C-alpha cells in the first residue's frame, strides 16, 4: 500500500490576492483526527548555484549510476543506495534534511523533507507519455520548469530534447546531492569540464516552498511547459501549487501533472485535485492518460482559461 507517514498541517504562506480557495477537506470523526501541531515554517526560496566541486565527484557518480531508456533518449541517474550510504559516510550539514528522512525512515516530513531522494512511479508514467506524444521539435527553444523535481528526470528529458530547463525542489540538499549530479551525468562525454559547468550553470536550481519560489521568480520569464509529478498528495499545499502554476506559466503555456488517484494518509489524489481545479475556474483541465491498476494513476494537462 502506498502511504505517506506524516500528518497534514496548515500552511502559513497564504496569498491574500490568490484567486484560489483552500480545497475542502472531508471531516473525519473527532476520534480519528490527528492532534493539532504547530504551524510549519516552510523554507524560503533560494536560487542554488552549481559549483565546480561537483566535477570532483564525477568519476564516482559515473560508477554509481543507473541507465533508463525512454523512447530514444538515454537517461542516467544516481543509484539511491549509493546516495544514502554517501550521506551517512560524510555526515555533513549540507545533507541534514536527507539524513533526517533516512534516520526517521520517512519518505516525507512536513516542512522538512518532501520525498526528493526517491523516484516515484508517476515520474516514469510522465516520461513515457512525453516520449510517445511529444516530438523533439516540441521542446526546441521552450523554457521548461521541472517543479518538485527530486531526481530531475523530467527536466533532464526535456533538456536532452532541446529545451532550456529550470529545476525546483523543496530541499536544497536534494538539488545539490541528487538533481545537479544527475544533470551532470547526462551531458555528452565529449564535453570538457568547463563546457559541462557552462551548460549546468545555464539551468536554474531553486529550493524552497512553492509560494516563496513564485515570489522569488516573479519578474523572470515565464515557462512554456511546467512538468510536475507526485506533487498533489497534500491537500493543504494544493492552493499554493495552483498559484505557482498560474504565476509562472505563460498565457499559452501548459502544465502536465502526473499523480495517483489517492494518497493514503494525506487525503489528496488526482480526481480530488481535478475537482478542486475545476471549482476555481482558473485552469482548463484535460485528462491525458490513466492506468487502471490496483492503485490508479493518471496524467492531466492544465491550461489557463
Q: Report which listed range, 89-93, 164-168, 292-296, is most confident.
A: 164-168
C-alpha cell at 101: 528522512
Which residues touch 106 (CB under 8 Å, ≥6 apart)? 5, 6, 113
d(CA 272, CA 56): 45
* pLDDT at position 91: 59
Of the candidates 135, 127, 142, the residue with the CA atom closest to the CA atom of residue 222:
142
CATH class of 49-304: alpha beta
User: At residue 177, what are phi and psi to the nearest 5 degrees?
Assistant: -100, -15
Name the pTM for this structure.
Answer: 0.84
* pLDDT at position 123: 96
Q: Are 102 and 84 in contact (CB under 8 A)?
A: yes
Per-residue pLDDT of 146-159, as tens digits, reads: 999 999 999 999 99
pLDDT band at residue 72 using 50, 70 and 90 as cut-offs: very high
Q: Are 87 and 99 in contact (CB under 8 A)?
A: yes
* pLDDT at position 23: 84
d(CA 213, CA 218): 8
Per-residue pLDDT of 79-133, as tens digits, reads: 877 766 666 665 554 556 655 555 554 555 455 445 545 787 999 999 999 999 9
Q: Are 286 and 28 in contact (CB under 8 A)?
A: no
Residues counted in the chain? 305
Q: What mean pLDDT, rounded, does the chain reach?
A: 85
* pLDDT at position 265: 77
pLDDT band at residue 20 using 50, 70 and 90 as cut-offs: confident
Of the candidates 213, 210, 218, 204, the residue with the CA atom closest to the CA atom of residue 159:
204
Which residues touch 297 (CB under 8 Å, ≥6 apart)? 121, 122, 125, 258, 259, 260, 261, 270, 290, 291
Query: For 208-215, what is the mean pLDDT?
Result: 97
pLDDT band at residue 71 using 50, 70 and 90 as cut-offs: very high
Q: Report which listed range, 12-16, 86-90, 276-280, is most confident.
A: 276-280
- How would you class 46 by CB atoms within 10 Å of its CB: exposed for 0-12, middle for 13-18, buried for 19 or more? middle
% pLDDT > 90, the chain = 67
Per-residue pLDDT of 221-271, as tens digits, reads: 999 999 999 999 999 999 999 999 999 999 999 999 999 999 987 789 999
Q: Are 232 and 262 in contact (CB under 8 A)?
A: no
Which residues touch 137 (CB under 8 Å, ≥6 apart)? none
pLDDT band at residue 32 using 50, 70 and 90 as cut-offs: very low
Is the per-residue pLDDT at 46 higher than 80? yes
Is the per-residue pLDDT at 10 higher than 70? no
Is the per-residue pLDDT at 278 higher than 50? yes
pLDDT band at residue 199 using 50, 70 and 90 as cut-offs: very high
Q: Which residues of 215-248 are buried (b: 16+ CB within 10 A; e: fewer)?
A: bebeeeeebbbbbbbbbbbbbbbbbbbbbbbbbb
Is the per-residue pLDDT at 196 higher than 80? yes
Helix (H, G, I), strand (E, B) or coil at 245: helix
* pLDDT at position 267: 81
- Higher confidence at residue 247 or residue 41? 247
Amino acid at each position: 500500500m502506498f502511504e505517506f507517514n506524516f500528518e497534514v498541517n496548515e500552511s502559513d504562506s497564504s496569498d491574500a490576492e490568490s484567486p484560489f480557495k483552500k480545497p475542502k477537506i472531508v471531516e473525519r470523526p473527532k476520534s480519528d483526527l490527528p492532534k493539532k501541531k504547530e504551524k510549519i515554517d516552510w523554507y524560503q526560496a533560494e536560487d542554488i548555484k552549481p559549483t565546480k566541486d561537483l566535477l570532483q565527484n564525477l568519476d564516482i557518480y559515473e560508477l554509481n549510476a543507473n541507465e533508463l531508456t525512454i523512447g530514444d533518449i538515454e537517461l542516467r541517474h544516481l543509484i539511491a543506495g549509493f546516495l544514502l550510504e554517501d550521506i551517512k559516510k560524510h555526515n555533513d550539514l549540507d545533507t541534514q534534511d536527507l539524513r533526517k528522512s533516512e534516520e526517521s525512515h520517512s519518505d516525507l516530513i512536513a516542512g522538512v523533507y518532501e520525498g526528493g531522494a526517491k523516484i516515484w512511479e508517476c515520474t516514469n508514467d510522465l516520461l513515457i507519455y512525453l516520449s510517445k506524444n511529444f516530438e523533439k521539435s516540441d521542446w526546441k527553444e521552450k523554457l521548461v520548469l521541472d517543479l518538485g523535481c527530486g531526481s530531475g528526470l523530467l527536466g533532464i528529458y526535456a533538456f536532452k530534447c532541446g529545451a532550456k530547463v529550470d529545476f525546483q525542489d523543496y530541499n536544497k540538499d536534494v538539488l545539490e546531492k541528487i538533481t545537479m549530479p544527475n544533470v551532470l551525468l547526462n551531458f555528452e562525454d565529449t564535453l570538457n569540464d568547463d563546457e559541462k559547468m557552462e551548460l549546468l550553470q545555464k539551468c536554474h536550481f531553486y529550493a524552497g516552498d512553492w509560494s516563496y519560489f513564485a515570489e522569488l521568480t516573479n519578474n523572470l520569464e515565464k515557462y512554456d511547459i511546467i512538468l510536475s509529478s507526485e506533487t498533489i498528495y497534500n491537500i493543504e499545499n494544493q492552493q499554493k501549487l495552483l498559484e505557482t502554476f498560474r504565476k509562472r506559466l505563460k498565457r499559452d503555456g501548459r502544465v502536465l501533472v502526473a499523480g495517483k488517484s489517492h494518497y493514503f494518509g494525506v487525503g489528496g489524489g488526482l480526481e480530488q485535485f481535478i475537482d478542486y481545479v475545476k471549482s476555481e475556474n482558473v485552469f482548463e483541465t484535460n485528462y491525458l492518460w490513466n492506468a487502471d491498476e490496483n492503485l490508479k494513476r493518471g496524467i492531466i494537462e492544465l491550461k489557463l482559461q
